[in-house]
Amino acid sequence: GGEDSLIRMENPVQFEHASSVNNVFFDEANKQVFAVRSGGATGVVVKGPDDKSSVAFRMDDKGEVKCIKFSIGNKILAVQRTSKSVDFINFIPDYPHMEFTQECKTKNANVLGFCWTSWNEIVFITDQGVEFYQVFPDKRSLKLQKSQNINVNWYQYCPETAVLLLSTTVQGNVLQPLAFRNGTISKMSKFEIELPVIPKPAKLSLSERDVAIATIYGQLYVMYLKHHSRTPNSPGAEVVLYHLPREGPCKKSHVLKLNTTGKFALNIVDNLVVVHHQSSQTSLIFDIKLKEPDCAVNTHQPVLPARSIHPYRLLITTSSNPSGINKVLLN
């Protein structure tokens, strides 16, 4: 909220929409939208929240791009094209611009993705654990700093706190947080998400799309969107917040009552939890600070009745782009 939001709304980010020749990616850490045309051969356009973080360049088409992110300060570009390696390109002046590659060290592992933790440190997340590297742009090489072996289903990363959350076990509901700081990696207390139904036989039951990690009022929380089946006695879906301290156990601390079922999406805006409900096209707003803690787990109702989501889309047609350019607002 406030004036800053008004400024951002007046300067939306423009990018070419996704198509058969154009892939679009969003990097949460740098708040950058990547539009990659023809694998980069006909151009990569990077749009950030300000002009300084917007660049355009070309790169060789070496296959479909699965993930693409700049390190902090746009110094080094990382591109994942296969499940075995990540490619790098220097964007530091007077450094060699040729691509160099790092294959994951773990035998038979598949790279699920990667996260930059500083301008020259990167973590590969594989289905068998994590590999933490330091990047040497002048030598065009990487050095493995530390690795952790653990079976991984999926991951979430919070760039503000440099905390990586790994989904482990067959059901996926045992979460292992890892903290990155000053070139080190440390395990935080792992914890279990309480599932509404325990499947038999065991199978992956906690989805990546139902979990988010965010800072609210200066504290780190893991948010779990807990669905309930449609029955007359169903209490409806809930958002369960687990407080994740730097040290000590992670504890269930808040439950947000949605009073409905269906598909949802989560946002944090000015420390408010905003839950979007797809079928009714409404948003629910929760403030976990409105209620003083009176028990281990506080239950919250929306602070306002559900509000309608008004679609916001601009279509700009030009002679060079008759199909239009998409515009989005970045937080």
pLDDT of 328 higher than 80 = no
Q: Quick one: pLDDT at residue 97?
A: 84
Q: Give the number of other Cβ atoms within 10 Å of residue 230's Cβ.
A: 9
Flag whether pLDDT at 76 surpasses 50: yes
Please say whether the beta carbons of 205 and 199 come within 8 A.
Answer: yes
- Per-residue confidence at 102, pLDDT binned at 50, 70, 90? very high
- In the predicted model, what is the mean pLDDT of residues 53-82? 93
Separation CA 128–CA 116 (nearest Å): 19
Residue 15: band (very low, low, confident or very high) from pLDDT cuts 50, 70, 90: confident
pLDDT score recorded for residue 314? 54
The per-residue pLDDT for 51 is: 66
Exposure string for 278-289, b = 16+ CB within 10 A, e = fewer: eeeeebbbbbbe
Q: Supply the DSSP symbol for 250.
A: -
Where residue 70 falls (left for φ over 0; alpha for ψ -120 to 50; beta otherwise) is beta
CB 135 within 8 A of CB 147: no
Average pLDDT, the chain: 88
pLDDT in tens, 214-223: 999 999 999 9
* Residue 9: pLDDT over 60: no
Distance of CA 233 to the CA centre of its chain: 34
Quote the pLDDT of residue 330.
42
Q: Which two tokens stand for residue 275?
A: 């839950």
Q: Which long-range contacts (CB under 8 A, 24 or more apart) does 316-322 make?
A: 316/14, 321/16
Residue 213 has pLDDT above 80, yes or no: yes
The H-or-E segment that residue 117 falls in is strand 111-118
User: Is 50 exceeded by the pLDDT of residue 55?
Assistant: yes
Identify the pLDDT of residue 232.
Answer: 67
Of the listed ranges 144-148, 254-258, 305-309, the one predicted with least confidence: 305-309
Q: Residue 243 has what pLDDT?
A: 97
pLDDT confidence tier of residue 265, bands split at 50, 70 and 90: very high
Residue 5 has pLDDT above 60, yes or no: no
Percent of the chain with pLDDT over 90: 72
Tally of CA atoms within 13 A in the half-sphere of 159 that contains its CB: 16
Per-residue pLDDT of 160-212, as tens digits, reads 999 999 999 999 999 999 999 989 999 999 999 999 888 889 899 999 999 99
5 three-state secondary structure = helix
| Model confidence at 271: pLDDT above 50 | yes
More confident residue, 233 or 14: 14
Closest alpha carbon to 228 in 237, 216, 215, 219: 237
Sign, CA dihedral 190-193-198-202, equals negative
pTM, 2 dp: 0.87
| Residue-wise burial string across 39-59, b where 16 or more C-beta atoms lie within 10 A, e elsewhere | bbeeebbbbbbeeeebeeeeb
- Token pair for residue 64? 């479909």
**Top-confidence residue, 290 or 77:** 77
The model's confidence at residue 74, banded by pLDDT at 50, 70 and 90, is: very high
Q: Would you call 62 exposed, middle or buried from its count of C-beta atoms within 10 A (0-12, 13-18, 19+)?
A: middle
**Per-residue tokens: 2:** 């406030």
pLDDT digits (tens, 9 = 90+) for 129-157: 999 999 999 999 999 999 999 999 999 99
